[in-house]
Structure 1
């Protein structure tokens, strides 16, 4: 097992880009390799040691044996764990844009907040954010229609708008509240939100399931009442209680399932 610890000593005004520093690429690196590495900052590169103290312990025969620990506020470090396929990354602080984007395996834990596009186009692995994240978590990128297709995102705080936009697989679990248009354009997969949702979940969704345990502010007209379901089993997961099931979005001939906690959403009965 190899443990790589990068401790922040100076925060950059321009975001550092960490997409080259994933276990898949650095599992053979020793301390000297990190000390010689030039990290992208805007359109230039600077020594990683300008920003981080570096410690490397142990050895690894493959990326699955690597644990990377980023200590400090990484709110100006983009692409943490981008495209990683194995191993583990722990961020003991905040993370900037695109954390866990396009990852295919391994696990990322952010012990703070994450900026927009966390888990963008994720295909596998696990992303756990202990704080909040902003818009477009688990979504597609600008100009594309393919969002998250596999893996799991667990968000302990609140999510911004368009959570799981273009979701085509995988699972997103939000323990806090969520802003507008969760699951917009989704075609597959599962979104669970334990807190309140402002309005319009599942806009233009074709398939998949969204379950809301909190209060929904406003439902789209494209969803029609289906039935009352007790103790539903959704995508292999069991839920206790009574849920109002809607089907939609009919605006796109959708057959997605929207489940609302009946106790919290009596106005939709």
Structure 2
């Protein structure tokens, strides 16, 4: 049985409670070494004031299972899973900003939607979001040269702007639509967009791959979401598409079953202003 955290009313009440609650340090590898009473006394930041975890959550369950289950509305709870190295965190609803930031290992399962800065600077582990993610998902923090450097993030819904910016390694799959500048200044890694891509996709990318699995290309025609600094390449059947399909099916990614992975793909090279070693792949209408 996991450790259960259930939100209290004072976390959601604007008149009594907390508008922003930071829970950095609440990690499976930390709580396994503590008793329930110690966990309730863990320090958290409520509107930048030090409080105790037990002031906002009912804490119950077993601390030996290396798993935390969050029940209730966690949309005001930020930095959950930040720096996690092992174990599992399950969020039954929505989650606030910076979830999984600089995560190194383990699993973060979000059954609702995630706010801004999901998985920024992520180094390893798996994150699975069944809802949407806001701006800067799997992006780089302000001032950082690199964003995600490892791990896998699967988002069933849509994402906001600048998702996957400055990724250096890792894997990001987006089941819905994407906002502006997905894969901005991409350094390496793979991004899959199953819905409608936003404008400036791949702008400034140096290396890496962006796969637009539902975007159909007609021969000789430009695609509005691809910057004009990309050049048209070959039309072929990349062998790695089959491996990509298997990986997405293992994650129960719904869009994986609706894509002709073994079909013809148009390759776009770019960004020509940043070395032209990246690629965007779009399906070809035959």
TM-score, normalised to structure 2, is: 0.86
Asked if structure 2 preserves the Cα contact closer than 8 Å seen for 1:114 and 1:133, the reply is: yes
Question: Partner of 1:79 in structure 2?
Answer: 79
State how many pairs are aligned.
258
Asked if structure 2 preserves the Cα contact closer than 8 Å seen for 1:18 and 1:77, the reply is: yes
Mapped to 1, the partners of 2:225 and 2:171 lie a distance apart of 23
Q: 5 Å matches for 1:1-269?
A: 3-10=2-9, 11=11, 12-57=17-62, 59=64, 65-215=65-215, 217-230=224-237, 232-233=239-240, 236-237=243-244, 239-263=261-285
Distance 1:22 1:235, change over 3 A: farther
Mapped to 2, the partners of 1:135 and 1:42 lie a distance apart of 22
Asked if structure 2 preserves the Cα contact closer than 8 Å seen for 1:131 and 1:157, the reply is: yes
Mapped to 1, the partners of 2:141 and 2:179 lie a distance apart of 19
Mapped to 1, the partners of 2:284 and 2:18 lie a distance apart of 47
Give the CA deviation at 1:196.
0.7
Return 43-52 or 164-173, whichever deviates more. 43-52
Asked if structure 2 preserves the Cα contact closer than 8 Å seen for 1:178 and 1:198, the reply is: yes
Return 225-234 or 28-37, whichever deviates more. 225-234
The CA RMSD measured in Å over matched residues stands at 1.7
Give the CA deviation at 1:176.
0.8
Mapped to 1, the partners of 2:21 and 2:5 lie a distance apart of 13
Give the CA deviation at 1:58.
5.6
What are the ranges of 5 or more consecutive residues in structure 1 without an aligned counterpart?
A: 60-64
Mapped to 1, the partners of 2:84 and 2:180 lie a distance apart of 30
3-state SS of 2:127 partner:
strand
